[in-house]
C-alpha cells in the first residue's frame, strides 16, 4: 500500500459508522468506510435490496427518513465507502498508521486481501444476538427475533403462520408487532423479565420520551392484533419432530427459575426468540482494549468522554460501547467524528460537542436501565436439560459442559472450550458464548465472556502467507 493513509477508517456502516463517516468527512477528513454488507445501514436499517423492489419499507420502520438523510449525505460526501469488506484484524506497528486488514468479495474462492491504512480508527461493528438455549431450540422453525426482523426487512418472508415470540428485551415487542403487521398470528409474547425494572429508573425514562412513544406504538399495534404479553414467563421447551409444533411456556420467579406446575402448551409453527444483543468487539479486544461489564451482563468497551477506547487512536461508537439503539449509535458516531477531527487537526472542538455529549449521556442512562431490567436471571440454566445442545457447531450438550465444570476443573468459557470444544466451531462461540460463560460460572446470570477472537472472520492461509512484511 503505497497510497497516503486515510485520516480515518470507520469499520461498520450501521447508524454509528454512517454518522461517524459522514461527519468526519464534513470536518474535512479523508475517510474510508468499510462494511461487510453490500449496502450501508447495519442491523437496523437493513433494507430490501433495490432489485427486490419491495414496496414501502417505511411501513416496517418509522425511522427510515433519518437513515435516508444519512445515506444521501454519504453519497454526496467524499467518503470512500468500501462495501463487501470483511475486516479480519487491525494492527499497528509503533507510530505507523493503523493497518486495517480485510477480505473482499463473497465468501469462498474469490476473496481478495486488502489493507487500508489510516491515522485514526473508529470501530462501529455493532452487535449480534444473545442466545440462551433451551430444549428443542435447534428445531427448524425456531428463529431469532433479530433474524425475523432482518427477514422481514430484506426478504419479506415469514418464518411461519402462528408464531410465538419469547425471550427478553424491547426487541420482542418490535419483532411481534412487525410479525403481526406482516400477517402472522402471534398467540403470545413471553417476556422473561418483569418490566418493573424500568420503574426503578424513572429519571432515565422520563428523559427519553421518544423511547416511551416507541413502546406505546408497539403496544398499540399488538393490541390491535390482540397479541397477549406475559411477563415473567419463558418458553422452556419446544416440541415437534421435524419442526416446531408447540412450545411449553412456564412462569418464572424473580431469578428466572421456572416455577413448577406452571407449564402450558401452546400450539404454533414457529418461535421467534431473542435475549438482547452482544457487542461485537473482538477487533478491539485483540488490541487489548479495556472492557467492562454492562448492566445487561455483556462485555462492552470502556470509552472516555469523547468515545476513545483505552488504546490511543482507536475510537468506538454505537453498540460496541454498550447496547443502546440506533439513535444513540448515531449520536456517538457524530461525537467520535468530531473528537477525531479535533485530535488530528488540533482545531478547537465545536460547541456542538457539548450538546451531543448531553444527548449521549441521557440515552446511555436509559439504555443501561433497560439493560439491567432484561439481564438474564441466574435461574435460567434450570430450563436446560443435560441433553440440551448448547454449542450447535460442535454439538456440545449442557451435560458435558456441567461435567467439565464439576469434574474436570473448567471455570470460564475458555477452559470449558478447551475441555469440551464448545465454541470452537464455525461461529467461534458467538452463538453459545453467553450460555457457556453462565454455565462455566456454575450457573448464574449473564457472565460476560472475556474471550479473545483475534480473527474477526476466517482467513485463508494463503492470504496470511502473502501479507506485507511490516517495513
Partner 1 sequence: MSTTDSSDVIVIGAGVVGAACAYYAARHGLSVTVLDRGAVAGGTTGAGEGNLLVSDKEPGPELELALISLALWRELSEALPPEIEYEPKGGLVVASAPEGLPALRKLAAGQRAAGVKAEEIPPERLPGLEPHLAPGLAGGVHYPQDAQVQPALAAAHLLRASGARLRLGEEVTGFLKGASGELKGVRTSKGALHAPYVVNAAGAWGGELARLAGATLPLLPRRGFVLVTEPLPQLVRHKVYSAEYVADVASGSAELQTSAVVEGTPAGPVLIGASREQVGFDRSLSTAALRRLAAQAVALFPVLARVRAMRTYAGFRPYLPDHLPAIGHDPTVPGLLHACGHEGAGIGLAPATGLVIARLVTGDKPPLDPGPFGPGRFAGASGTSGTSGRASTPR
Ligand X SMILES: Cc1cc2nc3c(=O)[nH]c(=O)nc-3n(C[C@H](O)[C@H](O)[C@H](O)COP(=O)(O)OP(=O)(O)OC[C@H]3O[C@@H](n4cnc5c(N)ncnc54)[C@H](O)[C@@H]3O)c2cc1C
Query: Residue 105 binds which entry of ligand X, partner 1, none, with Cβ cut-offs from 5 to 8 Å by kind?
Result: none
232, with CB counted inside 10 A (0-12, 13-18, 19+), is buried
Report d(CA 441, CA 447) in Å as an integer.
7
Query: Residue 469 binds which entry of partner 1, ligand X, none, with Cβ cut-offs from 5 to 8 Å by kind?
Result: partner 1
Query: Residue 30 binds which entry of ligand X, partner 1, none, with Cβ cut-offs from 5 to 8 Å by kind?
Result: none
CB 378 within 8 A of CB 443: yes
Query: Residue 156 binds which entry of ligand X, partner 1, none, with Cβ cut-offs from 5 to 8 Å by kind?
Result: none
In the complex with partner 1, the residue whose CB is nearer, 212 or 464, is 464
DSSP-assigned states of every residue in 187-208: -EEEESS-SGGGGG-HHHHHT-
Report d(CA 291, CA 225) in Å as an integer.
42
Which part of the chain contacts partner 1 (CB under 8 A), choosing from 17-25, 121-129, 252-260, 401-409? 401-409
In the complex with partner 1, the residue whose CB is nearer, 303 or 419, is 419
In the complex with partner 1, the residue whose CB is nearer, 101 or 153, is 101
Report d(CA 194, CA 188) in Å as an integer.
16
Q: Give residue for cell 477472537.
A: 453
Q: Give residue for cell 443502546.
A: 324
Question: Minimum distance between the CB of residue 415 and partner 1, rounded to whole angstroms?
Answer: 4
252's grid cell: 418464572
Residues 322, 327, 329, 332: is their CA dihedral positive or negative?
negative
In the complex with ligand X, the residue whose CB is nearer, 5 or 167, is 167
Query: Residue 410 binds which entry of partner 1, ligand X, none, with Cβ cut-offs from 5 to 8 Å by kind?
Result: partner 1
Question: Minimum distance between the CB of residue 245 and ligand X, rounded to whole angstroms?
Answer: 25
The site string for partner 1 over 144-183 (x = CB under 8 A, - otherwise) reads: ----------------------------------------
Residues 393, 395, 401, 403: is their CA dihedral positive or negative?
negative
Q: Give residue for cell 428445531.
A: 139
State the Cα angle at 458 between 454 and 463, rounded to 5°. Answer: 100
Q: Which of the 8 DSSP states describes residue 422?
A: T
Strands 270-274 and 277-279 come out as unpaired
Secondary structure class of 8 (helix, strand, coil):
strand
287 belongs to the binding site for partner 1 (CB under 8 A): yes
Report d(CA 245, CA 241) in Å as an integer.
8
Which part of the chain contacts partner 1 (CB under 8 A), choosing from 23-31, 169-177, 178-186, 282-290? 282-290
Question: Minimum distance between the CB of residue 43 and ligand X, rounded to whole angstroms?
Answer: 4
303 belongs to the binding site for partner 1 (CB under 8 A): no
467 belongs to the binding site for partner 1 (CB under 8 A): yes
* Contacts to partner 1 from residues 58-117, by CB under 8 A: 89, 91, 99, 101, 109
286 belongs to the binding site for partner 1 (CB under 8 A): yes
Q: Exactly one of 94, 242, 407, 471 binds partner 1 (CB under 8 A); which one?
A: 407
Return the exposure string of 247-278: e unless at least 16 CB atoms fall within 10 Å of the residue's CB, then b. Answer: bbbbbbeeebbbeeeeeeebebbbbbbbbbbb
Query: Residue 37 binds which entry of ligand X, partner 1, none, with Cβ cut-offs from 5 to 8 Å by kind?
Result: ligand X
CB 92 within 8 A of CB 99: yes
Question: Minimum distance between the CB of residue 398 and partner 1, rounded to whole angstroms?
Answer: 18
In 3D space, the residue among 274, 273, 271, 269 whose CA is nearest the CA of residue 242 turns out to be: 269
Applying CB under 6 A, the residues found at the interface with ligand X are: 11-17, 34-37, 42-44, 85-87, 124-127, 146, 149, 171, 174, 280, 318-319, 325-327, 329, 456-457
In the complex with ligand X, the residue whose CB is nearer, 101 or 402, is 101
Report d(CA 332, CA 55) in Å as an integer.
31
Query: Residue 467 binds which entry of ligand X, partner 1, none, with Cβ cut-offs from 5 to 8 Å by kind?
Result: partner 1
460 belongs to the binding site for partner 1 (CB under 8 A): yes
In 3D space, the residue among 434, 439, 456 whose CA is nearest the CA of residue 274 turns out to be: 434
Q: Exactly one of 85, 280, 414, 430 binds partner 1 (CB under 8 A); which one?
A: 414
Where do contacts with partner 1 occur on this chain (CB under 8 A)? Answer: 89, 91, 99, 101, 109, 286-288, 404, 407-412, 414-415, 418-419, 421, 424, 426, 428, 452-455, 458-462, 464-467, 469-470
Amino acid at each position: 500500500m503505497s497510497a497516503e493513509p486515510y485520516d480515518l477508517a470507520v469499520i461498520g456502516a450501521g447508524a454509528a459508522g454512517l454518522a461517524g463517516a459522514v461527519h468526519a468527512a464534513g470536518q474535512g477528513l479523508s475517510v474510508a468506510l468499510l462494511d461487510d454488507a453490500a449496502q450501508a445501514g447495519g442491523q437496523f436499517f437493513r433494507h430490501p435490496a433495490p432489485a427486490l423492489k419491495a414496496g414501502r419499507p417505511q411501513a416496517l420502520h418509522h425511522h427510515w427518513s433519518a437513515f435516508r438523510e444519512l445515506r444521501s449525505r454519504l453519497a454526496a460526501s467524499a467518503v470512500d465507502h468500501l462495501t463487501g469488506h470483511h475486516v479480519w484484524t487491525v494492527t499497528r506497528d509503533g507510530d505507523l498508521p493503523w493497518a486495517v486488514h480485510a477480505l473482499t468479495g463473497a465468501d469462498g474462492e474469490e476473496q481478495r486481501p486488502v489493507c487500508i491504512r489510516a491515522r485514526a480508527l473508529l470501530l462501529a461493528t455493532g452487535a449480534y444476538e444473545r442466545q440462551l438455549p433451551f430444549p428443542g431450540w435447534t428445531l427448524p422453525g425456531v428463529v431469532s427475533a433479530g433474524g425475523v426482523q432482518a427477514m422481514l426487512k430484506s426478504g419479506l418472508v415469514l418464518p411461519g403462520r402462528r408464531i410465538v415470540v419469547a425471550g427478553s428485551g424491547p426487541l420482542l415487542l418490535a419483532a411481534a408487532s412487525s410479525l403481526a403487521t406482516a400477517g402472522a398470528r402471534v398467540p403470545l409474547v413471553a417476556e422473561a423479565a418483569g418490566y418493573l425494572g424500568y420503574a426503578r429508573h424513572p429519571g432515565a425514562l422520563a428523559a427519553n420520551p421518544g423511547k416511551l412513544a416507541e413502546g406505546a406504538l408497539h403496544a398499540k399495534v399488538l393490541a390491535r392484533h390482540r397479541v397477549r404479553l406475559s411477563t415473567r414467563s419463558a418458553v422452556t421447551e419446544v416440541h415437534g419432530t421435524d419442526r416446531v409444533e408447540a412450545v411449553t411456556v412456564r412462569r418464572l420467579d424473580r431469578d428466572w427459575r421456572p416455577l413448577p406446575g406452571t407449564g402450558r402448551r401452546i400450539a404454533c409453527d414457529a418461535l421467534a426468540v431473542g435475549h438482547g444483543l452482544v457487542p461485537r468487539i473482538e477487533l478491539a479486544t485483540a488490541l487489548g482494549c479495556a472492557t467492562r461489564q454492562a448492566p445487561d451482563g455483556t462485555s462492552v468497551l470502556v470509552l472516555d468522554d469523547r468515545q476513545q477506547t483505552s488504546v490511543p487512536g482507536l475510537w468506538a461508537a454505537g453498540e460496541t460501547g454498550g447496547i443502546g439503539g440506533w439513535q444513540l449509535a448515531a449520536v456517538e458516531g457524530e461525537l467520535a467524528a468530531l473528537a477525531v477531527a479535533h485530535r488530528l487537526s488540533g482545531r478547537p472542538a465545536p460547541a456542538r460537542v457539548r450538546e451531543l455529549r448531553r444527548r449521549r449521556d441521557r440515552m446511555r442512562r436509559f439504555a443501561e436501565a433497560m439493560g439491567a431490567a432484561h439481564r438474564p436471571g441466574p435461574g435460567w440454566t434450570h430450563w436446560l436439560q443435560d441433553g440440551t445442545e448448547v454449542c450447535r457447531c460442535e454439538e456440545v450438550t449442557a451435560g458435558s459442559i456441567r461435567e467439565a465444570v464439576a469434574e474436570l476443573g473448567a471455570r470460564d468459557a475458555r477452559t470449558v472450550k478447551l475441555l469440551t470444544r464448545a465454541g470452537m466451531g464455525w461461529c467461534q462461540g458467538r452463538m453459545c458464548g453467553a450460555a457457556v460463560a453462565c454455565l462455566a460460572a456454575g450457573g448464574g446470570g449473564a457472565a460476560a465472556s472475556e474471550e479473545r477472537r483475534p480473527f474477526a472472520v476466517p482467513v485463508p492461509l494463503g492470504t496470511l502467507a502473502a501479507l506485507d512484511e511490516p517495513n
